[in-house]
Amino acid sequence: MTVRIDYERCNGCGKRPEACCEEVCPGNLFHRIEGKTALRDPSDCWDCFACVKACPRAALAIELPFQISEARNRLTARIGHRHIIWTLCDSSGAAISTYTIQNKTEGSP
């Protein structure tokens, strides 16, 4: 799998000193070019996808490999207060379906 950047959505996180993806990437793989985020070398990606979950504009997506999705579908994420919403999109970016994963709170089973 690999991370794909939608440069029409990406704004490099505006005036932040580091973009959100730069801040959370354990491999230090992101940097900015002309106000947009860029991935230094996709082959160095650890596939943790922390960047996808951290992106406030849903500009980063997981591109599913052909073994999983011949149509090259992508997953984007939005983080809520106590949940993550994953959206499965087709190659044109149209949403196919969404999945909500609730975070457990302390003390709950």
* Domain range annotation of the chain: 2-102
Which helix (H) or strand (E) segment holds residue 20: the answer is helix 20-24
Give the dihedral of Cα atoms 25, 31, 34, 38; nearest 10 deg.
Answer: -60
Tokens for 61?
């997506």
CA 77 to chain centre: 6
Counting residues of the chain whose pLDDT is more than 90, the rounded percentage is 41
For the cut 90, the answer to whether the pLDDT of residue 79 exceeds it is no
- Answer whether CATH 3.30.70.20 is correct for domain 2-102: yes
Q: pLDDT per residue over 3-32, tens digit each?
A: 889 999 999 999 899 999 999 999 999 999
Cβ–Cβ < 8 Å for 85, 78: yes
Span 33-56, pLDDT tens digits: 988 999 988 888 888 889 999 999
Structure tokens, 68: 């999983």
When pLDDT is cut at 50, 70 and 90, the band that residue 70 belongs to is confident
63 — pLDDT class (breaks 50, 70, 90) = confident
User: In this structure, how many other beta carbons lie within 10 angstroms of the beta carbon of residue 58?
Assistant: 16
Does the pLDDT of residue 90 top 80, yes or no? yes
How many CA atoms, within 13 angstroms, populate the side-chain half-sphere of residue 63?
Answer: 15
